[in-house]
Structure 1
Amino acid sequence: MAYNYFTYYTEIEEYFCQKRGAHLLVSTLDWAVIESWQKAGVPLEIVLKGIDRAFEKYDAKRRGRPIKSLLYCVDTVAQVADEAKEAAAGRPPQADAPRGHGPAYSAADIARYLGANAAALRLAAAQAGKPALAQAFTETAEALDALAAQPSTAVTKNLEDLERHLTVFEEKLLAALTQAAPAAELVELRREVERGLAPYRRKMKAEQLALIENQFLQKKLFERYRLPRLSLFYLPAGAPPPAAEER
């Protein structure tokens, strides 16, 4: 698996800032948009083409202020994805071309990442203040340690399968967090995401809205308890794993 698979987030963020002409801190809602694309399996090249198209449409209208959010690109990314599906219809299957150039992750990189996340989860368990959450955090930490302890060949043999395990762990953590959160907090988070989505809601499909809302909720709840994101998408090459509050 080429490195671009796991730098999906940072490449989109950097490309968006490049198109905008200035570095802009990507908001929680923007990260939820990127995560919704990743969860939906939208290829990186499709996202970048969709961002290009969004800026072309925006520039054609000669609007003065620059685009501030990736939410403006959701519709055009969906358009490009639909066009790619139509263009591929009826074609014979082709071997996947390598995506990008650069070093793949080593077993040691992944083991360190899993171990660091396990340590962060144990710290969160000690500070959780709720037995059910502490148990969920500790169980996930133990599962990560078990994965990290596997032989190096087992760790790197099938990164897609490893990612599936990490996705399941995140889903179980989110379920525990949602169960433990007061209803008032969840309602306020829903209000926050609805306010952010309001200007773009009419241009987005129901499934797009649902994905973004769910990713926003997950990010906010993970940040509250200082939980790390477990996906390998959060492991930049040559860099330590980011803390939850940094993403």
Structure 2
Amino acid sequence: MNYFNYFTEVEEHFQRARASALFLLSPLDWAMVESWKNSGIPLEAVLRGIDASFEKWRSRKQKTQMVNSLAYCTQAVMKEAEAMANNIPSSAVGAAEESPFPLEAVKAHLAKCAEALRAAAGYEQMAESLDALLTGIEEHFQHLEELDQRLTALEDKMSAIARTRLSEEELFRMRRELDLQLKPYRGKMTADQLIRLEKTYLDKKVYEHFRLPRLSLFYMS
């Protein structure tokens, strides 16, 4: 499966498993998918974990509640990822993939993000970094996964700057909202998983609050 199909594949697979094409993932779900992607969890492990979770749910004699969040699948996803890590065929390493995006689309995305960062005071240095990537885009285009990792690193820097501009009350409200959404699922996750999810969720809220662009190629429009 293509590296850049991660988000849509997970959403569509969860919808099929749930037998509800109209079901939309919540902000918490999207943060969880992003945390899996950033942690290097293979897409196949996520899809297998979703299937295993629903098989377990359907085997129950009493189904008091429908599966309404990807958080329900966390343990199964981690189990599948661990199993795959111990059984990686050598033929799967280094396999080349055709680019999923046209060169001009990548250029337009980076230019749009650079323009948005220049319009937001305090992010001029990151806009210059995007300009530098654009200057050598033909070379970067040959290694899109590495380019996306550079963009994700820039996002982390952008988030760190943005967080310093939040008031204590704003950050409190974001954390309270996160805690309310996470409460039913905390027992299904490890401390490391919770830390990663909390960071991803809060970063997403910070980007939305300050209307900052998402730089990763996963968010190309």
Same fold (TM over 0.5): yes
Alpha-carbon separation, structure 1, partners of 2:81 and 2:190: 14
Deviation of residue 228 (structure 1)? 1.6
Which residue is 2:100 aligned to?
A: 104
Alpha-carbon separation, structure 1, partners of 2:140 and 2:178: 37
Q: 1:224-239 maps to which residues of 2 (within 5 A)?
A: 224-235=209-220
Letter in 2 for 1:83: A
Q: 2:128 is matched with which residue: 142, 150, 156?
A: 142
Query: Aligned in 2, Cα 1:7/1:82: closer, same or farther, shift over 3 Å?
Result: same
Alpha-carbon separation, structure 2, partners of 1:99 and 1:37: 22
Letter in 2 for 1:180: R
Which residue is 1:130 aligned to?
A: none
Query: Aligned in 2, Cα 1:81/1:227: closer, same or farther, shift over 3 Å?
Result: same
Question: For structure 1, which runs of at least 5 residues remain unmatched after alignment?
Answer: 126-133, 236-240, 242-247
Alpha-carbon separation, structure 2, partners of 1:7 and 1:70: 17
Deviation of residue 232 (structure 1)? 1.4
Which residue is 2:182 aligned to?
A: 197
Which residue is 1:14 aligned to?
A: 12
Letter in 1 for 2:127: A
Is residue 193–residue 213 contact of structure 1 (8 Å, CA) maintained in 2? yes
Q: Is 1:186 aligned with 2:185?
A: no
Which residue is 2:3 aligned to?
A: 5
Query: Aligned in 2, Cα 1:83/1:198: closer, same or farther, shift over 3 Å?
Result: same
Deviation of residue 76 (structure 1)? 0.8
Q: Is 1:118 aligned with 2:104?
A: no
Alpha-carbon separation, structure 2, partners of 1:17 and 1:40: 23
Alpha-carbon separation, structure 1, partners of 2:129 and 2:69: 36
For residues 87-115 of structure 1, what are the alpha-carbon distances to aligned partners after superposition, in whole Å with 9 as ceiling and x for unaligned?
A: 44xx7x43438598x76323222111111
Q: 1:52-67 maps to which residues of 2 (within 5 A)?
A: 52-61=51-60, 62-67=62-67
Q: Is 1:77 aligned with 2:77?
A: yes
Question: For structure 2, which runs of at least 5 residues remain unmatched after alignment?
Answer: none
Letter in 2 for 1:8: Y
Alpha-carbon separation, structure 2, partners of 1:205 and 1:53: 19
Alignment TM-score, normalising by the size of structure 1: 0.81
Is residue 75–residue 204 contact of structure 1 (8 Å, CA) maintained in 2? yes
Which residue is 1:27 aligned to?
A: 26
Percent identity between matched residues is 40
- Give every structure 1 segment of 4 or more consecutive aligned residues whose post-TM-superposition deviation is greater than 4 Å: 97-100
Letter in 2 for 1:29: L
Alignment TM-score, normalising by the size of structure 2: 0.90
Deviation of residue 86 (structure 1)? 3.4
**DSSP 3-state at the match of 2:86:** helix
Which residue is 1:128 aligned to?
A: none
Query: Aligned in 2, Cα 1:151/1:57: closer, same or farther, shift over 3 Å?
Result: closer
Greater length-normalized contact order (CA 8 Å, ≥ 6 residues apart): 1
Which residue is 1:131 aligned to?
A: none
